[in-house]
């Protein structure tokens, strides 16, 4: 029986079935030269005809550039004429090898005589390999974007030349884009750089979606993904090395960029991005590029319409006005107010598995099965429905009146016996396929490659299932929203959760109490139960609740917290057990500072350690002493700068209110003042630290880029700020629930001179700074000339006993030359060995063995950077110490 329910009308964007075939066509032609990607392996490449030795490999990307700017970031400057990789056949070019590269074997280098020739070579490389995908870490400002801008300055249209559909070669380049600057480029996965026929991927933008990190610098993401530290050198240094350095230095520059080019590829490979994207494209039936560039509505629509078309449905295509006029959503998901406290008994975490999709399937909720609101059915004529209207004949209603379900908010849907909805069918297929895929993953656990592909597939299925609800509820930007359907899903979910809670509370034998729940999860406290009992009861509850609901709605046993802290809605943490036989619990947290990116690592570390101590020992005194130790360290400045870096996302200059007072914006403004191209990319995370300033100075003025603080010894981390505004509030939110006042712990600390502020005195033409700081609760006064921290050791303090003196050694120590000799030798030895170990560490990363050159790597993640800077300062005291030692031994010998 077919009911003439006419709800999907109008025209719709045409999703072609051709897309997948096109995509296959694309990927099948992808050829990768191993030689190019792995410069170390010497494979001969013949560039003519079919004889070239190339490898067809599964993943498919080829040419990429990283930062091609050596000089400055201001505006596209002249490029130094180097092109790494296989060179061209042109007779004017010379070719050679640079040895001493990453591989030790060398990279083939083509030398050209002019910059325009360099571009010709680049174009020929691209054309020869004809890649589908062009990679770059930051495609907009550097890499391809930079090359395009630079080429435009030389009056050449690079985009056209490397595209797959080049226009006439004499066509005028698009001069606009060069000076309009990259700022105007839209935000997309290609960073706005578009090359017809090829997919341009901005690796940074891709990874931003992929991983939640506090920093998205190349070095940082590379470390997070590949677990390998790599250095970062400023452009000036690289330029210097390249232009004035030895051949080995030049090779290092080439190496540096090769590592980055290769690194981009390595990261994508490790994360299986290309494989996964291909899987998604296949799964959703959309093009490869659209997986990266389009949103979730596009995916849902692609799948939905494939099912709708054979069933003879046409989707509505409401206008903006129609969408705006649609009734507002009424139903809210259920979020209980948690009983905030520390729970020393087991707490079960149960949640409904894919609740929204399950409801759609279980109750047959769909655009095509909806009869509208119950109250409208008694009326005659059109009534509003979603973005359009709906009308029924009385006899139709009479026929189905016993075969309907009514959602909690009073919307009527017909049973599957009358008509199976498109959305339920789609989701059912998705969920059952996912279960199947998961099953075959288990079956083929040994086959790593297959497993990766299957995992990508099941992930894609899960994603699409979860966003299908969003599609119906997208009232702001939706292409086909429908309040009735969306509200019914949320309403039913709410009702389902409420019913489950009621059932749990009503069943006496479990002696369970629901202490928190949100949308699709319940937290059940089992007072006095053991861990094993908790698992048993948890399973019983899940079975009972599942049986109480239509298929495929299922309450799933997630984990047991024992013990745990519920702070507020969306914020909790605990020691987690996932199986009954698990003996060692795992710390698990949601929403609190240990998992948030808006606090610094130090806060996360202190909080996590404190909570772990509390959960494992139940002993607050241990927590207290730990916290106090950390606070003391912070006050004394004996902490790592890196742990105190805060990083916030920068939205772009125009995206803030004029009066907005945001560190990221402030630092961006300061940066732009010196270098217009130094503005952070929209979406980039801007790191900063807070330093000491004058009393009453607004916080925003105490914000500094970390490197500035690392280089300037007069700037000190604002320990008081970090303690009172970062560490203690976070601790307080967790521990106040146990009746602890962490601020009192802070006040209980032994009194030391806190928060010394550098006072500046003008003495003649040189700035003399007087700084006080506390160390081991003793107060020292350091007087030093700005910039040479090392001097005060020799001039102000006795290096043996630390007493104030201006004669090198204090009078009492001078009377004991043996002690002086011993202590000084020891100190010299310590400094030297510390310096040596730091140098070795540095060498292993940057391969710069020369300790005499100052540390060049400016990567914020560099573990050596701050230590090296520090030892560099102390190294300056060496001559003084040596002189003192010489003097002592000389005066002793006669």
Q: What span, in angstroms and rounded, lies between the C-alpha atoms of 85 and 551?
A: 59
DSSP notation for 335-380: BPPP--EEE-S-EEEEEETTHHHHHHHHHT--TTTEEEEHHHHTS-
Of residues 709 and 773, the one with the C-beta less far from DNA: 709
* Binding of residue 649 to DNA (CB under 7 A): yes
Of residues 649 and 803, the one with the C-beta less far from DNA: 649
SS3 assignment, position 746 = helix
Of residues 300 and 709, the one with the C-beta less far from DNA: 300
Q: How far is CA 357 from the centre of its chain?
A: 28
Q: What span, in angstroms and rounded, lies between the C-alpha atoms of 860 and 553?
A: 48
Of residues 435 and 661, the one with the C-beta less far from DNA: 661
DSSP notation for 664-698: HHHHHHHHHHH-GGGSPPTTPEEEEEEB--STT--
Q: Give min distance, CB of 556 to DNA, in A.
A: 12
Supply 361's token pair. Answer: 């399937």
Supply 278's token pair. Answer: 């291909």
Q: Give min distance, CB of 294 to DNA, in A.
A: 4
Report CA torsion sign: 556, 561, 566, 572. negative
* Binding of residue 325 to DNA (CB under 7 A): no
Q: What span, in angstroms and rounded, lies between the C-alpha atoms of 875 and 287?
A: 59
User: Binder to DNA among 365, 471, 510, 561 (CB under 7 A)?
Assistant: 471
Strand boundaries in 241-360, DSSP class E: 341-343, 347-352
- Other beta carbons within 10 angstroms of residue 185's beta carbon come to 18
Q: Give min distance, CB of 724 to DNA, in A.
A: 9
Of residues 385 and 469, the one with the C-beta less far from DNA: 469
Of residues 702 and 857, the one with the C-beta less far from DNA: 702
Q: Give min distance, CB of 341 to DNA, in A.
A: 14
Of residues 302 and 859, the one with the C-beta less far from DNA: 302
User: Cis before residue 563, ω within 30 degrees of 0?
Assistant: yes
Report CA torsion sign: 181, 133, 82, 87. negative
CB 90 within 8 A of CB 114: no
> What kind and span of H or E run contains 885?
helix 878-892
* Binding of residue 475 to DNA (CB under 7 A): yes
Q: Give min distance, CB of 660 to DNA, in A.
A: 4
Please list every residue from 721 through 740 that binds DNA, using CB under 7 A.
Answer: 725, 729, 733
Could you tell me which residues come within 8 angstroms of residue 181 by beta carbon, excluding any fewer than 6 positions away? none
Q: Give min distance, CB of 471 to DNA, in A.
A: 6
Q: Give min distance, CB of 1 to DNA, in A.
A: 34
* Binding of residue 322 to DNA (CB under 7 A): no
Q: Give min distance, CB of 478 to DNA, in A.
A: 6
| String marking each residue 285-304 x if it binds DNA according to CB under 7 A | --------xxxxxx------
Please list every residue from 515 through 544 that binds DNA, using CB under 7 A.
Answer: 518-521
User: Binder to DNA among 107, 431, 473, 885 (CB under 7 A)?
Assistant: 473
Of residues 408 and 591, the one with the C-beta less far from DNA: 591
CB 218 within 8 A of CB 154: no
User: Binder to DNA among 467, 785, 831, 845 (CB under 7 A)?
Assistant: 467
SS3 assignment, position 428 = helix
Largest CA distance in the chain: 124
| String marking each residue 202-241 x if it binds DNA according to CB under 7 A | ----------x-----------------------------
How does 826-839 read in b/e, with b if 16+ C-beta sit within 10 Å?
ebbeebeeebeebb
User: Binder to DNA among 418, 436, 450, 595 (CB under 7 A)?
Assistant: 595
Of residues 98 and 334, the one with the C-beta less far from DNA: 334
Q: What span, in angstroms and rounded, lies between the C-alpha atoms of 313 and 161?
A: 44
Of residues 308 and 667, the one with the C-beta less far from DNA: 667
Q: Give min distance, CB of 181 to DNA, in A.
A: 16
* Binding of residue 880 to DNA (CB under 7 A): no
Please list every residue from 329 through 368 that binds DNA, using CB under 7 A.
Answer: 329, 332-333, 335, 351
User: Binder to DNA among 11, 91, 246, 476 (CB under 7 A)?
Assistant: 476
SS3 assignment, position 887 = helix
Q: Give min distance, CB of 731 to DNA, in A.
A: 11
| String marking each residue 663-702 x if it binds DNA according to CB under 7 A | -xx-------------------x------------xxx--
Q: What span, in angstroms and rounded, lies between the C-alpha atoms of 737 and 663?
A: 32
Q: What span, in angstroms and rounded, lies between the C-alpha atoms of 429 and 440?
A: 16
Closest CA relative to residue 692, chosen from 646, 758, 630, 635: 758
Q: What span, in angstroms and rounded, lies between the C-alpha atoms of 234 and 467?
A: 43
Number of residues that bind DNA (CB under 7 A): 60
Closest CA relative to residue 324, chosen from 469, 481, 471: 481
Of residues 515 and 664, the one with the C-beta less far from DNA: 664
SS3 assignment, position 103 = coil
Of residues 141 and 690, the one with the C-beta less far from DNA: 690
Of residues 683 and 817, the one with the C-beta less far from DNA: 683
Angle at 98 between CA 95 and CA 104, to 5 degrees: 140
Q: Give min distance, CB of 166 to DNA, in A.
A: 23
Of residues 598 and 675, the one with the C-beta less far from DNA: 598
Please list every residue from 596 through 615 that binds DNA, using CB under 7 A.
Answer: 596-598
Closest CA relative to residue 752, chosen from 773, 783, 782: 773
Q: Binding segment for DNA among 67-75, 448-456, 468-476, 531-539 (CB under 7 A)?
A: 468-476
Q: Give min distance, CB of 479 to DNA, in A.
A: 8
Q: Give min distance, CB of 596 to DNA, in A.
A: 4
Give the residue carrying structure tokens 């990508």: 456
Please list every residue from 564 through 593 that binds DNA, using CB under 7 A.
Answer: 567-571, 590-591
* Binding of residue 59 to DNA (CB under 7 A): no
* Binding of residue 651 to DNA (CB under 7 A): yes
Closest CA relative to residue 525, chosen from 501, 490, 544, 548: 501
| Binding stretches for DNA (CB under 7 A) | 186, 188, 212, 293-298, 329, 332-333, 335, 351, 466-467, 469-471, 473-478, 518-521, 567-571, 590-591, 595-598, 647-651, 656-657, 659-662, 664-665, 685, 698-700, 725, 729, 733
């Amino acid at each position: 029986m077919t009911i003439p329910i006419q709800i999907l009308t109008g025209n719709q964007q045409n999703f072609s079935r051709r897309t997948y075939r096109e995509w296959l066509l694309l990927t099948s032609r992808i050829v990768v030269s191993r030689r190019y990607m792995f410069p170390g392996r010497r494979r001969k490449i013949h560039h003519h005809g079919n004889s070239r030795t190339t490898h067809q490999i599964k993943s498919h990307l080829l040419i990429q550039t990283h930062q091609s700017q050596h000089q400055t970031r201001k505006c596209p400057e002249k490029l130094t004429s180097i092109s790494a990789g296989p060179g061209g056949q042109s007779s004017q070019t010379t070719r050679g090898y640079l040895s001493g590269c990453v591989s030790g074997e060398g990279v083939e280098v083509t030398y050209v005589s002019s910059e325009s020739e360099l571009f010709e070579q680049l174009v020929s490389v691209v054309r020869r390999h004809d890649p589908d995908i062009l990679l770059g870490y930051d495609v907009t400002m550097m890499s391809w974007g930079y090359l395009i801008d630079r080429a435009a300055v030389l009056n050449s249209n690079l985009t056209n030349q490397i595209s797959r559909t080049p226009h006439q070669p004499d066509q005028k380049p698009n001069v606009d884009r060069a000076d309009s600057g990259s700022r105007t480029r839209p935000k997309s996965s290609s960073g706005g750089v578009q090359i017809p026929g090829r997919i341009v991927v901005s690796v940074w933008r891709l990874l931003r979606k992929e991983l939640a990190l506090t920093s998205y610098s190349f070095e940082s993401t590379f470390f997070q993904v590949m677990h390998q530290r790599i250095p970062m050198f400023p452009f000036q240094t690289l330029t210097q090395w390249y232009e004035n350095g030895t051949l080995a230095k030049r090779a290092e520059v080439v190496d540096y960029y090769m590592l980055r080019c290769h690194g981009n590829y390595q990261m994508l490979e490790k994360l299986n991005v290309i494989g996964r994207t291909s899987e998604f494209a296949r799964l959703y039936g959309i093009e490869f590029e659209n997986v990266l560039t389009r949103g979730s509505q596009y995916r849902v629509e692609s799948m939905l319409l494939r099912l709708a078309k054979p069933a003879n449905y046409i989707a509505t295509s409401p206008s903006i006005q129609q969408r705006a006029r649609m009734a507002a959503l009424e139903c809210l998901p259920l979020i209980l107010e948690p009983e905030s406290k520390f729970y020393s008994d087991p707490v079960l975490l149960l949640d409904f598995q894919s609740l929204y999709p399950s409801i759609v399937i279980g109750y047959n909720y769909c655009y095509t099965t909806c009869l509208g609101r119950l109250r409208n059915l008694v009326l005659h004529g059109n009534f509003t429905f979603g973005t359009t209207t709906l009308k029924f004949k009385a006899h139709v209603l009479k026929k189905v009146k016993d075969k309907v379900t009514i959602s909690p908010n009073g919307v009527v849907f017909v049973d599957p016996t009358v008509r199976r909805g498109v959305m339920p069918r789609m989701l059912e297929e998705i969920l059952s396929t996912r279960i199947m895929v998961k099953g075959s993953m288990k079956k083929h656990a040994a086959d790593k490659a297959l497993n990766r592909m299957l995992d990508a597939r099941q992930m894609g299925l899960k994603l699409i299932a979860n966003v299908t609800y969003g599609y119906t509820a997208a009232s702001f930007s939706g292409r086909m929203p429908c309040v009735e359907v969306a509200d019914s899903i949320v309403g039913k979910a709410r009702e389902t959760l409420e019913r489950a809670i009621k059932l749990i509370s009503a069943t006496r034998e479990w002696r369970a109490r629901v202490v928190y729940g949100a949308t699709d999860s319940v937290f059940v406290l089992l007072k006095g139960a053991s861990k094993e009992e908790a698992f048993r009861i948890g399973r019983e509850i899940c079975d009972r609740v599942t049986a109480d609901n239509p298929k495929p709605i299922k309450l799933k046993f997630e984990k047991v917290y024992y013990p745990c802290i519920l702070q507020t809605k969306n914020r909790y943490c605990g020691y987690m057990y996932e199986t009954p036989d698990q003996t060692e619990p795992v710390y698990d947290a949601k929403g609190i500072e240990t998992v948030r990116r808006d606090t610094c690592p130090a806060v996360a570390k202190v909080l996590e350690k404190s909570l772990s101590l509390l959960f494992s020992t139940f002993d607050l005194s241990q927590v207290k002493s730990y916290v106090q130790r950390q606070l003391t360290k912070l006050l004394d400045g004996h902490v790592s700068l890196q742990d105190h870096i805060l990083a916030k996302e920068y939205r772009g200059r125009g995206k803030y209110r004029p009066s907005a007072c945001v560190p990221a914006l402030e630092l961006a403004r300061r940066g732009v003042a010196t270098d217009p191209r130094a503005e952070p990319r929209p979406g980039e995370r801007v790191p900063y630290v807070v330093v000491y300033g004058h009393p009453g100075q607004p916080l925003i003025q105490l914000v500094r880029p970390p490197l500035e603080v690392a280089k300037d010894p007069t700037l000190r981390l604002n320990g008081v700020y970090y303690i009172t505004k970062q560490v203690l509030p976070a601790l307080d939110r967790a521990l106040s629930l146990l009746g602890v006042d962490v601020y009192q712990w802070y006040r209980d600390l032994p009194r030391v001179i806190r928060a010394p502020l550098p006072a500046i005195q003008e003495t003649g033409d040189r700035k003399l700074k007087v700084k006080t700081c506390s160390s081991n609760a003793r107060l020292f006064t350091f007087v030093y000339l700005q910039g040479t921290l090392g001097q005060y050791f020799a001039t102000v303090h006795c290096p043996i006993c630390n007493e104030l003196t201006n004669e090198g050694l204090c009078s009492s120590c001078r009377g004991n030359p043996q002690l002086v000799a011993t202590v000084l030798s020891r100190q010299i030895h310590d400094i030297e060995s510390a310096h040596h170990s730091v140098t070795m560490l540095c060498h292993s990363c940057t391969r710069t063995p020369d300790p005499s050159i100052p540390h060049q790597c400016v990567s914020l993640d560099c573990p050596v950077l701050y230590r090296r800077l520090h030892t560099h300062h102390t190294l300056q005291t060496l001559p003084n110490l040596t002189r003192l030692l010489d003097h002592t031994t000389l005066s002793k010998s006669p």
